[in-house]
Amino acid sequence: MVHDATVDRTTDGKGYVNDFTYEELSKLDAGCRFSAEGGKTFPWRGRGIRIPNLAELVDSFPQDNFNIEIKDTSQTAARILVELIKKKGILSQVMVVSEHQTSIGLFRSLAPDISTSAATKELRKFIIWGKLSMAFFS
């Protein structure tokens, strides 16, 4: 799982995450840049720390809760995520978020029983209504 748009900050690779296959991502050293001493030492470099996929994270931390962001605007990401969440049986352990209204809207239509957060457009509307004291008129 990668949060950044690129792999540059957290791995020994360079480039946009979207330009890699998962197989390529999984070969990068995800411990190479970690330093608790501000760059004096890199104790996890070369120690086999890799980027896990969501299934691996769930398997490693089966009792934990997950906040999952859909960064992709394609319908594929939402569909795959719904399938994985249902297959792993973690419906009550996830909160799905996306700044993209189309992605979160599709996800909600495919899995109305899984928690989601508000998308950017929804938050904007909520804030404006709150400032205008119109929250009860929605």
Q: Beta partners for 6?
A: 16
81-94 per-position pLDDT tens digit: 999 999 999 999 99
Residue where the block lists tokens 């319908």: 75
Reported as type and span, the H/E element at residue 66 is strand 66-69
> Is the pLDDT assigned to residue 137 strictly greater than 70?
no
Give the CATH class of 54-138.
alpha beta
Nearest Cα neighbor of 64 from 90, 83, 85 is 90
- Record the pTM: 0.79
Residue where the block lists tokens 């999984």: 26
What's the mean per-residue pLDDT of the chain?
Answer: 91
Tokens of 44: 């996890």
What does the domain layout of the chain look like in residue ranges? 1-51, 54-138
